[in-house]
Amino acid sequence: MKLEPECVGCLLNQVLKAFKLLEIETSRDLIIKTQKGVMQFLLKQDLDKISAPIVGKFLYSKIGELIQVQDPYKELKTEYNELALYYYDEIKKFVFKQEDPIFEAIVVSALGNTIDFASQHKIDLVNDLKTFTPDDLVINDYTDFMDSLKKKKKLLILGDNCGEIVFDKIMIEVLKNRYPELEIIYAVRSKPIINDATMEDARKINLTSLVTVIESSGAPGIDLNDITPEFKRYFYSKDYVILSKGQGNFETLNDVDIPNQDLFYLLKAKCILMKRIFKVPVGSLIFKMRA
């Protein structure tokens, strides 16, 4: 989808947020320099042909370049994965006990995207699960998803963040338990970008021993102009149901002409743009089939 007015100010603010989150001792001049670089980048683009995550790809690469660190979020990503792994056994046990473990596993996967791991609050995901009802999915196309999955028996999951990838692993284990014949491919980023999951993270949580893991692109979304040949083969196949996780993947794929209509978005509406697009309150969980 094209860059929207709500995104421009947000992107500039992300520069400041990034330096604060990384706890980097930096000057006003370096922050302004980075923000000016983003503005100059935008001025050179056709804003009807670029999405916010593609600008984000430039933005976060620029930050890494300025502080001379290839993967600035490496320590945070490790922390996110370890924190999620702490809850892994308890949540997996809870999910398998439910009447519909697949639905519960999808809820876990969605809730995993909502946790602010960088904050200091206590995470009570198990309690969140126990109090969750289907009505909490403001848009819920679960039935359509299962119909597509039973028909095609092949699933391509577009992963999102570290930490969250651990809960995706639980979802995958539940799906494989229920449908042993189901082929599952999981896509991670092709290089470090913000706190998005990479092949290194997939290996660390042993996801690579469970399913085939491939690399997509080096953006905080799916940059279709810079995807790996392997990802292109799966993504453009009509044989797979596609489960796209997170807002970045949605923003890069929404309104894009692709042959596969069995594409489902699983995300949290994290900003006013998502509120406007989906007509839901900010903070809503969404599981929506591509129109």
- Tens-of-pLDDT digits for all 291 residues of the chain? 788 888 888 888 888 888 877 777 777 888 888 899 889 998 898 888 889 899 988 888 888 887 888 888 898 889 889 988 988 999 999 999 999 999 999 998 988 876 544 343 455 666 776 777 777 789 999 999 999 999 999 999 999 999 899 999 999 999 999 999 999 999 999 999 988 999 999 999 999 999 999 999 999 999 999 999 999 999 999 999 999 999 999 999 998 888 888 999 999 888 888 999 999 998 888 999 998
- Check residue 249 and give its pLDDT: 95
CATH topology of domain 74-289: Rossmann fold (3.40.50)
- Check residue 113 and give its pLDDT: 72
- Check residue 219 and give its pLDDT: 93
Q: Which amino acid, one-letter code, is at 75?
A: E
Tell me the sheet residues that pair with 187.
Answer: 158, 214
Predicted TM-score (pTM) of this structure = 0.91
109 CB-contact burial (10 Å; exposed 0-12 / middle 13-18 / buried 19+)? buried
User: Positive or negative CA dihedral for 261, 107, 102, 156?
Assistant: positive
Q: How many CA atoms lie within 13 A of 27 on its CB side?
A: 4
CB atoms within 10 A of CB 113: 20
